[in-house]
């Protein structure tokens, strides 16, 4: 099979190296299993032609950490040659593996329309806003959909490449490749999410965050929170959804559990941490953390109905 690694000037050197290393690791894993090497690997740089009958195009991330940086990088990377190469790969039925900000490049071809995708957690809401035809799943490390594999930030490209290898060679080669490289099969970006990063550009949401931190011990409603920051409840819900992908209730619970985990890591007992952030006891806190880690806390960039403001966001059980 022919595999090409797209190497644009803005792409991270780590992602380019990961692409080549993972494909070569798959070749060696296949040899260890008594098979022939599955991949013929080439680099694809500006001006090159797409190899005929391509099976896989690896598209490493470009390391953007803000929307302004994303805009600048996309302006450079979305040149006619790059978009033609991506479109030709998609139209030729090749698999395309993209991570981080390069998912935005792939999205511009229309290849993800009507499907599911992910990107770095701090860019997920922006991907959803720019490409509403895509169902963005920001909590996922990677998403397989059709012939595409999309993933989170730069080092999630390891997971993306492993998934692409599995699609093309089977689970036995991919599993041995993972063992060789000491790769854990991660599934969620949730442990890495930082709300303060997501809301930094919105002073009202920063105010909401700080107000919640100051009122963790007590019960309050979404309407109370909205009143405290001078917003209508539906406006607050829309702004939170746009910036974080969280409902107001999930936003509050995330801050409570995040604060509790920080306290526990600094030596506070689980029982004491639970009371300091407003949970009835350590068991209630543990259940909330499990819900957060297993994805039962609402975190979605699409399809959220703004909260009416009447429900309590107290964690007490």
Residues 250-295 have pLDDT tens digits of: 999 999 999 999 999 999 999 999 999 999 899 999 998 888 776 5
Same domain, 65 and 177: yes
CATH label of the domain that carries residue 279 = 1.10.10.60
Give the model confidence (pLDDT) of 143-172 as tens digits: 999 999 999 988 899 999 999 999 999 999
CATH label of the domain that carries residue 25 = 3.40.50.880
Same domain, 30 and 162: yes
Within-domain flag for 227: yes
Q: Give Cα separations from 129 to 76, 134, 243 (angstroms).
A: 21, 9, 10
Letter string b/e over residues 220-231, b meaning 16 or more CB atoms within 10 A of that residue's CB: bbbbbbbbbbeb
Number of domains in the chain: 2
Which domain covers residue 101, as residue numbers? 2-191
CA nearest to 119, candidates 67, 80, 84, 162: 67
- The per-residue pLDDT for 151 is 96
Find out whether 282 and 271 touch, Cβ atoms under 8 Å: yes
pLDDT at 300 over 50: no
Within-domain flag for 141: yes
User: At 305, is the pLDDT very low, low, confident or very high (cuts 50, 70, 90)?
Assistant: very low
Same domain, 33 and 175: yes
Same domain, 85 and 111: yes
Residue 99: strand pairing partners: 151
Same domain, 175 and 200: no
- The per-residue pLDDT for 307 is 38
Same domain, 168 and 209: no
Of the chain, the percentage scoring pLDDT greater than 70 comes to 92
First CA to last CA distance, the chain: 56
User: At 314, is the pLDDT very low, low, confident or very high (cuts 50, 70, 90)?
Assistant: low
Give the model confidence (pLDDT) of 117-145 as tens digits: 999 999 998 999 999 999 999 889 999 99
CA nearest to 167, candidates 96, 88, 86, 110: 96
Same domain, 181 and 200: no
């Amino acid at each position: 099979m022919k595999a090409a690694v797209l190497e644009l000037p803005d792409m991270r050197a780590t992602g380019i190296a990961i692409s080549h290393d993972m494909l070569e690791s798959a070749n060696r894993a296949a040899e260890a299993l008594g098979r022939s090497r599955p991949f013929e690997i080439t680099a694809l740089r500006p001006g090159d032609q797409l190899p005929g009958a391509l099976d896989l195009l690896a598209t490493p991330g470009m390391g953007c950490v803000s929307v302004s940086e994303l805009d600048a990088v996309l302006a450079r990377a979305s040149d006619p040659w790059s978009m033609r190469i991506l479109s030709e790969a998609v139209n030729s039925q090749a698999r395309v593996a993209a991570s981080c900000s390069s998912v935005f490049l792939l999205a511009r071809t229309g290849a993800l329309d009507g499907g599911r995708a992910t990107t770095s957690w701090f860019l997920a809401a922006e991907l959803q806003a720019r490409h509403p035809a895509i169902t963005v799943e920001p909590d996922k490390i990677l998403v397989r959909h059709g012939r595409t594999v999309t993933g989170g930030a730069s080092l999630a490209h390891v997971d993306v490449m492993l998934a692409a290898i599995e699609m093309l060679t089977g689970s036995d080669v991919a599993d041995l490749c993972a063992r060789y490289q000491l790769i854990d099969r991660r599934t969620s970006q949730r442990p890495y999410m930082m709300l303060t990063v997501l809301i930094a550009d919105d002073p009202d949401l920063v105010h909401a965050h700080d107000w919640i931190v100051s009122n963790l011990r007590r019960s309050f409603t979404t309407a109370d929170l909205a009143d405290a920051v001078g917003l209508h409840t539906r406006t607050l819900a829309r702004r939170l959804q746009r910036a974080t992908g969280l409902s107001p209730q999930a936003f509050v619970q995330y801050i409570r559990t995040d604060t509790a985990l920080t306290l526990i890591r600094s030596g506070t007992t689980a029982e004491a941490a639970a009371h300091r952030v407003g949970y009835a006891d350590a068991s209630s806190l543990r259940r909330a953390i499990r819900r957060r880690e297993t994805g039962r806390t609402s975190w979605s960039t699409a399809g959220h109905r703004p909260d009416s403001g009447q429900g309590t966001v107290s964690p007490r059980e």
